[in-house]
Structure formats: structure tokens, C-alpha cells
Amino acid sequence: MSARDVEQRAAAWIVQRDQPDWTSDDDAELRGWLELDHAHKAAFWRLDHGWRAADRLVALKQNTATVNATARRTRWRYAAMAMAACLICALALTVMLGIGRNRAGDPTAVRFATAVGGQRDVTLADGSRIKINTDSALVAEVDRTSRDVRLDRGEAFFDIAHDAQHPFVIHAGDRRITVLGTRFSVRRDGATVRVVVVEGRVRVEDAGSTAGAAAIVTAGKVAVAHGASLLVVDRSPQVVEDTLSWRRGRLTFDQTMLGDAVAEFNRYNRQQIRINDDRAARIRIGGSFEATNSAAFARLLHTAFGLEVRTEGDTIIISS
């Protein structure tokens, strides 16, 4: 992103922040954008300071004692205020009228993020829809001629609008997932990427090498990629649905080791669960649970398996 693009985006954030429909999700998204690059922070605070400085200049006008001096200073204050306001408004107008495009004609990157336990529904410019899962972040660059998304962390479910002329491409770590129109999820845990296809088909390949592992993944299949390895397995419709039950705020397990189930719960909750011994961690469990209620899950473990459950601060400790 060029310096001009960064300033345009910063100006848009400042305008949006002052709107009455600004939400906590918007605030989290702004913080995420600021953390992406020091240049983002510099542009945002520079423009924000200019806007606030203009307000202060107007306020100072009321405290001037000398009429002639007031007249002279007022002209300079209004000039300074106008320059600051025009800068922000012009940049914001460029963003809005340009429909998010930069000078080169490329789509402007828009970042979406969720907090721990949060989810977010997003509709992109091409009509594609994304449901973003807990503690996730992605950057979308989508318009009528280009469709690219970068999944920085976490998980998202994609419902892609069909466009045979413009494939939709998702970058997740060192993997590239290419689709025309389909429904599927992508989860990134560090270097491991998992793709679950509900409908249609996608191509999963190594983004950095033409000779790397690649596969066509169709409905009912799950692809797991790590390093040079790419494994594709068949799953029943029910297993696929259970894997994606997080879209309904649920976690579904079937003969899952408790240690793995706890790791999933910890993705959704600030109150973390810790298992103190291997015997308890190897217990296999099944069922459907509310993803953001780790305390209720722990109580069920005590009732069903007689496990000891105690709370220390923000941690639930489980032992046999």
C-alpha cells in the first residue's frame, strides 16, 4: 500500500469513527489496522491531530481580547482549520468516490478482525459472504476485476459468488486456495492450514512453488496442509457439518480426546481450561457444547466423568 493509500484509509477511519453507528467491532478492526504497520499509526495520528488542532483553534478564537488582533488571528485560524478539514474530507471523499481503489486502479485492502469469542459476518463488493470465527484476522482486496483475501490467523467460512472470469483466491500462510464459486472454510493455525469444502470444489496449492503439493478438494472432503505435505480425506456430511458447527456458536465432538476438545474451547474463551494430567487428557468425549461457555463444559466433565474441577483466577483446572 502506497503512502497515499495509507493516508486515504486513515482519513476514512477518522470519518467513520465519528459516526453514530460506530461499534466495538469497528473499534477492534481499527486497532487491528493500526497494529499492521507503524505507517498506519503515523498517518492516523497525524490526521487526527490536525483535526483536533483545528477544533482547538476555533475555541481559542473566543478568548481573544483585542478586536483587531482577533480579526487577524481569526483569519489564520479559519485558514488552518479549513486546511486540516479539507485534507481529511478530500482524502475521505477520494476513498468513498473511488469505491476503495488506489491510484493504480487496484482494490484497497480492507482488514477485518474478531476478538476471542467473537464472530463477524462480512459481505464483500462482489457479493461473496464471509463468516469470520473467533480471534481471526483477514485482509480482503475485492472489486469487480480482482478477488483476493489473505487469512492472517484464525478461521473463516466463505460463500463465494460465482464469477468464472475472476477466480477468488485466498492466501493462508504458504498455501493458496483458488475457487470460482463454492462454500467452504479455511482455518490457519500457524503453518498448518485446513480446508473443509461443503459445496463445489477448490484448488489448494503451495503458493511459493509450481512443483509443490496441490490438490482439487471437492464437497465432503477435508484438506490439511503443513510444510510440503498435503493430506486430503473424505468426510461424511454429518462430520463436515459438525466441523463447522462453530457457525451456530457450538462446538461438536465425536470420540474426541479431552485434551483436543479443551484446546478448541480455549480458542473461544478468555477463561482458559488447563488439564493437569495425561489420564484426563486422553478421555474421549462426544456431544455439542456452547462454544463460549467453558465453565458449563467443565461442570459437565465433573458430572459425567467425576473429574475434579477447580477455578484459579481466569483458569479452570481439571484433573482426574
Instruction: Supply 211's cell numbers.
Output: 512443483
Q: Where are the alpha helices (DSSP H) in the chain?
A: 3-17, 24-36, 38-61, 67-97, 237-243, 258-268, 278-281, 294-305
Does residue 57 carry a pLDDT above 50?
no
Binning pLDDT at 50, 70 and 90, where does residue 87 land?
low
Say how far apart CA 216 and CA 37 lie, in whole Å: 35
Q: Do the beta carbons of residue 204 and residue 185 sit within 8 Å?
A: no
The answer to pTM > 0.75 is no
Model confidence at 137: pLDDT above 60 = yes
Instruction: Say how far apart CA 310 and CA 313 lie, in whole Å.
Output: 10
In this prediction, residue 109 carries a pLDDT of 82
Task: Output 52 or 265, whichever has higher pLDDT.
Answer: 265
Q: With pLDDT > 90 as the criterion, what percentage of the chain qualifies?
A: 55
Instruction: Give the tens place of pLDDT for each residue, 219-261.
Output: 999 999 998 889 999 999 999 999 999 999 999 999 999 999 9
Q: How confident is the model at residue 266 (pLDDT cuts 50, 70, 90)?
A: very high
Higher pLDDT, 42 or 318: 318
> Per-residue confidence at 216, pLDDT binned at 50, 70, 90?
very high
Nearest to 151 by CA among 179, 167, 130, 127: 130
Q: What is the pLDDT of residues 292-303, one digit of tens each?
A: 999 999 999 999
More confident residue, 29 or 139: 139
Residues 97-113: b if buried by 16+ CB within 10 A, e if exposed: eeebbbeeebbbbbbbb
Contact predicate 99/144, CB 8 Å: no
C-alpha cell at 280: 484426563
pLDDT band (50, 70, 90) for residue 287: very high
pLDDT at 214: 82
pLDDT, mean over the chain: 81
